[in-house]
Chain A
Amino acid sequence: MLRMTGAAFGTLGAAVILSACSPQQKDTAAHGGTSEATPAKGTDAPIDSLTLALPSSISTLDVSREAGILNYTVAALVQESLLSISPTGRLEPGLAEKWDQLDARTYVYTLRRGAVFSDGAPVTTDDVLASIEAARDTTSGLAYAWANVASVRATGEREVTITLSSPDAAFSWTPTPGTLLISSKAFLAKHKGKVGTSQTLLLGSGPYKVTSFAADDGVQLERNDAWWGRKPALRSLKLSFIPDAGTRLVAMKSGSIDGALDLPADEAGSWTSAAEVTYTSDRSVVSLAFDTSRAPFDDPHVRKAFAYAADRPGMVAGILHGKADVATSLVSPEMWGDLLPAADTESAYAALTPYPFGLDAAKAELAESAHKDGFTVELTYPNSGPQLGTAALALAGSLKSLGITLKVKEVTLEQWIADLVPGRKPLQFLWYFPVTGDPAELTNPYLQSSATATNLAHYRNTAVDRALAAATTATGTAERGRFLLDAVKAAAADLPYLPLWWAQTATALSKDVVLEQPGPFALVGPWAARIRRTA
């Protein structure tokens, strides 16, 4: 159940997933009309204020209550974690200036000197302990990430030691903004249960402080001059929640806003006249999950028939306007950046069975199965993802000629998340936004047979299990990466999941300003501190 919560929370931001603008996109995924080949550079000229539109409201600033991507976009400007994730997805220092792994179960973090909260109080080990305690609390939505932690202790004036119950190489990603944001002990005690409301706001040590927040209206942020990092050029930032696409565009054209984050693919095109629009991979994956433990999807021929019947290039071109990539695995290629050289994963992914779209091949596969006369199956999609619904209808059209009736049904996001449990439905969408830069975030919950609470496919393959277990205790990163890649390759041959696409999202900024060092993870960090005036 634990990792699933992560999936559920990751997907809460589904309708509102943000991406950084990425003029310096290094992966081939970017083919945005206005992306540039060279890194965009800004000047140090101060920017007094900016107003940016967010496509949906958040109801609280506290990510342990509501962990959608938009919540992180705001909170990561205000609060920091022990470690940070670079825009490209690498672990970097945060409030801890260095960290060591003493043995398979013990991690030691040394706090930065001189870091202070925006109220002037220094960041101490007590604050870190209290923040971790809050994240582990039963009322916290982030508790799943800390379930394997045996103890958290202050072992020195600036030293925090975390001991695990059992070894887990993926733990190094836990004290990052996705699952830990640090506030002061006094603040957490004073506002217990009410952190992040319009009255209590947030307290953190990040580059900005919140001065006001109103759900359905916006968040006002001011620069925190006590931040330890390089002084941001932007002094005052207003994030306005403008849910209506038309209003948002008119607001941009009339100069009421200076940009917008997360533009839907079909909208982004009309923004190019008013703003600089950039696209970046958000590492999210949209996939079908087959329950391999029961009919009809226990039959590999049926799964293959679905794979041939799904016109994935057509979906990417027609439904996502080319702003996505046909997926061949749950793990998008950028997720491997920290573990393996790009060439290794590229060649491994290229060797996976491609299943090109073809109804004849699909019919041939179905004819070999035990269900050659077809069957009826339901597929639900969340109301926040209309593109999933359109894709499902396209698939239903292809499957009809095979005699398979696919009943496509829209449900609320909440309902969809509630049903995202193994055994609930024979066929499901798995729509996942990773919050770490680690492939294990996807492989462990969805491919491991022991992950009974999350493994939607009921997938069981001893070779995959062995590789994943080996990765958990592997010492070197490359070694660990190879084990994980082995698991992904072995699982792909069995097709428990049919990956459809890896998504991209669009960001529009006024031509006067630029976001430096964008990347798939830019918005889960102090992104606004990197906004500069265009050189």
Chain B
Amino acid sequence: MTPPRSPGPGPANRPAPQRPWHVRLGAALPLRYVLRRLAGTAGLLAVLSAAVFALLRVAPGDPARTLLGTRSATPQALAAVRADHHLDDPVAEQYGRWLADALHGRLGTSIRTGQDVTAVLGDRLALSAQLVLLGFAVAVALGLPLGVLAGLRARRPADRAVQSLAVVTLSTPVFAGGLVLIYVFSLMLGWLPAYGPGSGGGGDRLLHLVLPAATLGLSVTAVLVKLTRAAVVRELAREHVTFALARGIPTRRVLIRYVLRGTVVPVSTGIGLVLAYLLAGTVMVEQVFALPGLGQLLVGSVTFKDVPVVQAEALLIAALVCLANLTTDLVHPLADPRLRTAAATAPADRDKGQA
């Protein structure tokens, strides 16, 4: 039960006093690092917002006509739209006004319906968020254990079976996979509803989201399986793992303390990616299961050139993906001390990292 010790002499050889949590957090995540990541994310979002704003300007034709949609473009109507959207102001001023409005949650009016864009997005955000989170839960619940299993049994039948299954789920198009699930669980077994979001929230909604979430989750499970398997195989081959096993440390302990800990960073990086995949996957899943979420809204809005809605949704999705990346960036140094920036890391932490 002796903890592994670092080979050379150093402060870590003395029993380190337990420091308060905020000091430890500060050491792992120095303020300068956090600020730099936040500034980076803000900068990226600023660039993205400019690109999203430019959508309306670079779209072919007169922006006023685009904003009029299918309504007849009489001179009066065009003038009214120009005045409403300040289209005759300098572009920089328009961008500033638009960004300020967006930050205050004023995202404009849908061309197609005349509805407030914030209200349109609000209605659908909840459903899509539930779908993505449930899909994510399915992917993690299946992907991580199967990936670990495949990694531990690398190049053996269990590994081959898991990997083949992963290839099948990865290469099954969502609309086909969804239909198979609907066919089996709604038509043949009659356990679950075939389509729609269900009435109200709670249990009925959950019941209606089981099949869509399974379809969505399965489509990305393979990515997690592959990532986890590769990380496990790599960790198993490392010298400190071999050494630990040679010293007679119980296998289970080596697996949990060394191998799985070593997989946290590559897998969590992958999870950020998987979230982005899931957001994109909602487009197809919502179509198959007739769910009124953000994905269907995006398709409809792009088709009908409903620029304010497309802008708002693009901005929302960009912000979500940026936030997911920011979270992984901030979690990494907590999980793996080697990723803490050298200047900000105290010698004690560096030693601990090598332990």
Q: Residues on A close to B: CB < 8 A?
A: 1, 5, 8-9, 12, 57, 59-60, 62, 65-66, 138-141, 143-144, 193-199, 214-218, 240-244, 246-247, 250-251, 253-254, 256, 412-414
Q: Are A246 and B304 in contact (CB under 8 A)?
A: no
Chain A residues within 8 Å of B289, by CB: 244, 247
Name the one of A139, A199, A217, A413 contacting B197, with C-beta atoms under 8 angstroms.
Answer: A217
Q: Are A140 and B71 in contact (CB under 8 A)?
A: yes
Assembly CA distance A256 to B194 (angstroms):
7
Contacts A57-B300, A216-B300, A217-B196 known; A247 to B113 CB distance under 8 Å?
A: no
Is B123 an interface residue, CB under 8 A from the partner?
yes
Chain B residues within 8 Å of A250, by CB: 179, 182-183, 186-187, 194
Closest B residue to A383 by beta carbon equals B303
Q: Are B114 and A193 in contact (CB under 8 A)?
A: yes
Q: Are A194 and B115 in contact (CB under 8 A)?
A: yes
* Tally of B interface residues using CB under 8 Å: 41
Closest B residue to A252 by beta carbon equals B194
Is B74 an interface residue, CB under 8 A from the partner?
yes
Q: Are B123 and A251 in contact (CB under 8 A)?
A: no
Assembly CA distance A78 to B47 (angstroms):
47
Which stretch from B33-41, B149-157, B291-299 is at the chain A interface? B291-299
Contacts A216-B300, A240-B196 known; A66 to B70 CB distance under 8 Å?
A: yes
Is B105 an interface residue, CB under 8 A from the partner?
no
Q: Are A254 and B190 in contact (CB under 8 A)?
A: yes
Q: Are A244 and B288 in contact (CB under 8 A)?
A: yes
Chain A residues within 8 Å of B119, by CB: 199
Assembly CA distance A214 to B287 (angstroms):
15
Q: Which of B268-296 contact A (CB under 8 A)?
A: 286-293, 296
Name the one of B76, B115, B186, B297 contacting A216, with C-beta atoms under 8 angstroms.
Answer: B297
Kindly name the residue among B77, B175, B195, B297 whose own CB sees the greatest number of chain A CB atoms within 10 A: B195
Assembly CA distance A10 to B292 (angstroms):
25
Q: Are A247 and B112 in contact (CB under 8 A)?
A: no
Q: Are A138 and B77 in contact (CB under 8 A)?
A: yes
Closest A residue to B302 by beta carbon equals A412
A188 → chain B closest CB, angstroms:
13
Assembly CA distance A147 to B146 (angstroms):
68
A12 → chain B closest CB, angstroms:
8
Q: Are A199 and B115 in contact (CB under 8 A)?
A: yes
Contacts A215-B113, A216-B296, A250-B182 known; A244 to B71 CB distance under 8 Å?
A: no
Given contacts A217-B291, A254-B186, 8 further A-B contacts (CB under 8 A): A65-B71, A140-B72, A143-B72, A197-B113, A242-B290, A244-B289, A250-B194, A254-B190
Assembly CA distance A243 to B115 (angstroms):
23
Name the one of B70, B71, B195, B286 contacting A251, with C-beta atoms under 8 angstroms.
Answer: B195
Q: Are B290 and A217 in contact (CB under 8 A)?
A: yes
Q: Are B296 and A60 in contact (CB under 8 A)?
A: no
Chain B residues within 8 Å of A197, by CB: 113-115
Q: Are A57 and B296 in contact (CB under 8 A)?
A: yes
Q: Are B113 and A60 in contact (CB under 8 A)?
A: yes
Closest B residue to A243 by beta carbon equals B287
Chain B residues within 8 Å of A199, by CB: 115, 119
Assembly CA distance A144 to B77 (angstroms):
15
Chain B residues within 8 Å of A413, by CB: 303
Contacts A59-B112, A65-B70, A197-B113 known; A244 to B197 CB distance under 8 Å?
A: no
Chain B residues within 8 Å of A414, by CB: 303-305
Q: Are A8 and B113 in contact (CB under 8 A)?
A: no
Closest B residue to A251 by beta carbon equals B194
Contacts A60-B113, A138-B71, A253-B187 known; A247 to B195 CB distance under 8 Å?
A: yes
Q: Are B179 and A254 in contact (CB under 8 A)?
A: no
Is B63 an interface residue, CB under 8 A from the partner?
no
Is B193 an interface residue, CB under 8 A from the partner?
yes
The 10 sampled A-B contact pairs (Cβ below 8 Å) are A65-B114, A66-B70, A138-B72, A141-B70, A144-B72, A215-B292, A216-B290, A246-B288, A247-B290, A414-B303
Q: Are B182 and A247 in contact (CB under 8 A)?
A: yes
Assembly CA distance A360 to B296 (angstroms):
49
Name the one of A1, A9, A196, A251 contacting B113, with C-beta atoms under 8 angstroms.
Answer: A196
Q: Are A244 and B194 in contact (CB under 8 A)?
A: no
Chain A residues within 8 Å of B76, by CB: 138
Contacts A138-B71, A216-B291, A243-B290 known; A256 to B114 CB distance under 8 Å?
A: no
Assembly CA distance A12 to B112 (angstroms):
13
Q: Are A244 and B287 in contact (CB under 8 A)?
A: yes
